[in-house]
Structure 1
Amino acid sequence: MALERFEEQDFLACCGSTKFAKEMVLASPFTSLEEAIAAARNIWFNKVDVNGWLEAFSSHPQIGQSASSAHTSHTAAQWSKGEQSTALATSTGSSLQELSDWNAQYRQKFGFIFIICASGRSTAEILAELKKRYQNRPIVEFEIAAQEQMKVTELRLGKLFSTKTKPASTGKQHPTVLATKVEEDRVAVIGGHLKAAPNPSSDKASQVPTRTRPPITTHVLDVSRGCPATGVEVRLEMWKGSQPRPLFDKTDIGGWIFQGSSITDVDGRSGQLMSIVNDVNPGIYRISFNTGKYCPSGFFPFVSIVFEIKESQNREHFHVPLLLSPFSFSTYRGS
């Protein structure tokens, strides 16, 4: 097995605790991402003290704001920007102001900024979670923030390890710099600020890191209660009917082929609905939610969201969440 070697600055980009980064260097090299994550969990929860936790918290920008280069590396700043891309894409001026106001209240009460794994979460969802957690006792909230920090760390370790799968560059750039450029390009597309069209002759495969999660994911937010919807049954299917695509006025029995199912966890997130593959098969997919079982008094016995993945999108990630209330629902494409 190949041994993955990284420097202290690489681990600092994953978690802003100096103690964590030094301990990860001592524990390395790692034979796999899973081994690195196991070591990270042990170090974070058993070897890093309270000061180390607070140091890591302070390295994050406040949700809705950019990272300060004085307190975090360029790589970490770009990763943070990518992690908040869905929140920024779904925000409005008023929602950002409300988020800023609640962030200030949170910091005044607990003494540190609100920490949440923001990847794939909308501004409304983050704000709802902030308001919910604001009610916690400080000792309880400190533990929750540490758990959220570990989620962020695991996500970034996956990005760090993905740099090892990239073909060698003709330049002298550090591999984490290459990964940062890929993340920055992806965020630019989401934000609609891409300044130049990509070069058609470029090798797209070399621009995309190996996945660390399935290409299709979802979560459910109960907007009537302002919290994640736990215990919702979720089912993923792909269209394989006699027609190239499902038609509005015709039914093809057996046209939808089961891909996977799961139940949302305490964060409203589904488990793995399909295998982790670099190239997702293009086609039409359907995610169905057993909303009638979750909310028997609601208007919808179930909700299905149908969407299409084109050939040119087979290496992109598709996060298709459900924002649910008893008498309405909405969705959007997250990252």
Structure 2
Amino acid sequence: MELGFEEKDFLACCGSTKFAKEMALASPFASLEEAVRAARDIWFNKVDVNAWLQAFSAHPPIGDSPPASHHHRTSPTSAQWSKGEQSTAIATATGSTLQELSEWNAQYREKFGFVFLICASGRTSDEILAELKNRYPNRPIIEFEIAAQEQMKITELRLAKLFSSRAKDTIDQHPAVVAKKVEDRVSIIGGHLTVTSEATAVKTSQIPTRTRPPITTHVLDVSRGCPAAGIEVRLETWKGTQPRPSFGETDIGGWIFQGSSTTDNDGRSGQLTSIVNVVDPGIYRISFNTGKYNPAGFFPYVSIVFEIRESQGKEHFHVPLLLSPFSFSTYRGS
């Protein structure tokens, strides 16, 4: 059964009017997964920077309630959801923590020009404050990308709530099917945001809980200020004679091919590995054919080696490349 929604419904999920209009045009959706796929495509590929900033501005600072001046752009539903998402943070905060959060929020806004954004669901005030301090030294272009990823996490969580609410309104039509589908879909989106009980973990482990591969990347050409399209990307994992490659390792055959793709017009790679619930621990390497992209540059290719530990199997690893002809940098995104 397809569920249709209006623009105001999607505006409660994400404060960008452009995003809400595009989602309303794409509606109705046969499932929550279909809506999430559309949302990610619209957010990362179809809206502009102004839409991102508009969505950021709809969020109150962590630890604060939406001020009266924001009521014209923050719907009652959005404000209610925001309060619920911050409930753990508020419940675990002391007066001194709230004061420190307020001070760091102000410093962050002064440096970056927008509110500190994080998917706060299930996070304590101390965890949020630590993440704020950790991200504060970032360069603006990196922090802007991280904030956009956090906004998408929030949007996905709220889409799950939206579908759950709509299903309750129509449950008399399909009581068993609709209730079961929505329950499962909410678990899929919310599973990576909150700590679940052991029983819930056993239940959800039998169905795919990811909506994208566990390892992703994108390339940004910082010399041109735009995504780098057409770069060949290759993912490998270490299976050499030694448990892990060391500096100067000569066991060339130890790297085993996992997948490859080419960055699209938004600088994002295609699928490099299968969509699995738990990614295998080990040493991974993403290589970029930068010499073909920029023959006059300094780097014939760039390889980024990173480790996924056994305890991190359910996490997502976004490893971007920020590239110019004579320098490059990377970071772990989300």
Match of residue 177 from structure 2: none
Q: Are 1:125 and 2:141 counterparts?
A: yes
Q: Any residues of structure 2 matched to 1:224-263 within 5 Å, and which? A: 224-263=223-262
CA contact (8 A) 2:156 2:189 kept: no
- How far did residue 309 of structure 1 move? 0.8
SS of residue paired to 2:331: coil
Match of residue 156 from structure 1: 156
Q: Any residues of structure 2 matched to 1:264-275 within 5 Å, and which? A: 264-275=263-274
- How far did residue 298 of structure 1 move? 1.6
Match of residue 327 from structure 1: 326
CA contact (8 A) 1:78 1:183 kept: no
Q: 1:274 to 1:30 in 2, by over 3 A?
A: same
Alpha-carbon distance in 2 for matches of 1:34, 1:6: 12
- Show structure 2 runs of 5+ residues with no match: 43-49, 87-103, 115-137, 165-181
Question: Identity percentage over the alignment?
Answer: 51
Alpha-carbon distance in 1 for matches of 2:187, 2:40: 23
Match of residue 13 from structure 2: 14
Q: Are 1:285 and 2:301 counterparts?
A: no
Q: 1:152 to 1:126 in 2, by over 3 A?
A: same
1:33 is aligned with what amino acid? E
Alpha-carbon distance in 2 for matches of 1:58, 1:224: 26
Alpha-carbon distance in 2 for matches of 1:329, 1:94: 28
- How far did residue 253 of structure 1 move? 3.0
- How far did residue 242 of structure 1 move? 2.3
Q: CA offsets, 1:92-143, max 9 Å, x none?
A: 9988535319xxxxxxxxxxxxxxxxxxxx75336889xxxxxxxxxxxxxx
- Show structure 1 runs of 5+ residues with no match: 43-53, 81-90, 102-121, 130-147, 165-173, 186-197
Q: CA offsets, 1:138-189, max 9 Å, x none?
A: xxxxxxxxxx9xx95996279629998xxxxxxxxx969988976665xxxx
TM-score computed with the length of structure 2 as normaliser: 0.55
Alpha-carbon distance in 1 for matches of 2:11, 2:105: 32
2:112 to 79, 99, 123: 99
SS of residue paired to 2:292: helix
SS of residue paired to 1:225: coil
SS of residue paired to 1:287: strand
Q: Any residues of structure 2 matched to 1:45-56 within 5 Å, and which? A: none
Q: Any residues of structure 2 matched to 1:1-335 within 5 Å, and which? A: 11=10, 13-15=12-14, 30-31=30-31, 33-34=33-34, 60-61=56-57, 69=66, 70=71, 71=74, 72-75=78-81, 97=110, 99-100=112-113, 124-125=140-141, 152=152, 156=156, 160=160, 210-335=209-334
Q: 1:98 to 1:92 in 2, by over 3 A?
A: same
Q: CA offsets, 1:302-324, max 9 Å, x none?
A: 11011111111110000111112
Alpha-carbon distance in 1 for matches of 2:308, 2:281: 5
SS of residue paired to 1:254: helix
Alpha-carbon distance in 2 for matches of 1:267, 1:311: 32
SS of residue paired to 2:253: coil
Alpha-carbon distance in 1 for matches of 2:246, 2:193: 38
CA contact (8 A) 2:231 2:288 kept: yes
Q: 1:38 to 1:127 in 2, by over 3 A?
A: closer
SS of residue paired to 2:306: strand
- How far did residue 231 of structure 1 move? 1.7
Q: CA offsets, 1:55-78, max 9 Å, x none?
A: 998665269966964512444688
Cα RMSD (Å) of the superposition? 5.2
Alpha-carbon distance in 2 for matches of 1:327, 1:39: 36
Match of residue 86 from structure 1: none
- How far did residue 247 of structure 1 move? 2.6
Q: How many aligned positions are there?
A: 249
TM-score computed with the length of structure 1 as normaliser: 0.55
